[in-house]
Chain A
Amino acid sequence: AKKKVCVSPKYNATIAVPGVGEHPLQYNYSFWYSRRTPGRPASTQSYESNIKQIGSFASVEQFWRFYSHMIRPGDLTGHSDFHLFKEGIKPMWEDDANKLGGKWIIRLRKGLASRCWENLILAMLGEQFMVGGEICGAVVSVRFQEDIISIWNKTASDQATITRIRDTLRRVLNLPPNTIMEYKTHTDSIK
């Protein structure tokens, strides 16, 4: 009898692995990019279809190979976002890893996004937050008058984790002392 070979989508997926001589990261990550079409409603479906995965990496060197070729957030125009999430987590509230979570949001005056984004993602990739597996990913959102960076975590009810993320953000971003930081749960954002 002929045997049918089933390829599950799970096994078909490409998982990034560190190359020989490269420095592995604690987690694999994926870069995503999204750009909102002006005038379109931001429904879940249009959000998902607007978001494009750029690629995944597993080592420090692979990260730089992506990042060095990417446009800096400060040079983006229009309503655009870069997302850097752990491989397997979609940068959406609806993802299982995110649905009970929340995010720290920092609004930045124009001109600061590129430097802050780089410092944020280097801290995340280097495991500087020290909150176990709580971090899901980070986003930089380029808007008309200001830019926004955010870092998402799994458990919005975990006060110790949220405090630790905030303190690490203050340290690694070297923000002006009057910078306002706001924590939002994703269930609040949906409302």
Chain B
Amino acid sequence: GTRIIYDRKFLLECRSSPLAR
């Protein structure tokens, strides 16, 4: 099936989202 893949750069970008605080 489909797998949810994220690279390091994308994961680090999500860190600054208001949802991550």
Q: Which residues of A line the B interface, CB within 8 A? A: 19, 21-26, 60-61, 64-65, 68, 119, 122-123, 125-128, 172
Contact = CB atoms under 8 A, between A and B. Distances in A.
Interface in B1-21: 3-8, 10-12, 14-15, 17, 19-21
B5 to A, nearest CB: 5
Contacts of A61: 14, 17, 19-20
B19 A19 contact: yes
Nearest to A62: B20
A23 B7 CA distance: 13
The 7 closest A-B pairs by CB, nearest first: A126-B6, A64-B20, A61-B19, A61-B20, A26-B4, A60-B14, A127-B5
29 contacts: A19-B19, A21-B19, A23-B6, A23-B14, A60-B11, A60-B14, A60-B20, A61-B14, A61-B17, A64-B14, A64-B20, A64-B21, A65-B21, A68-B20, A119-B8, A122-B8, A122-B12, A123-B8, A125-B11, A126-B6, A126-B7, A126-B8, A126-B10, A126-B11, A127-B3, A127-B4, A127-B5, A128-B5, A172-B8
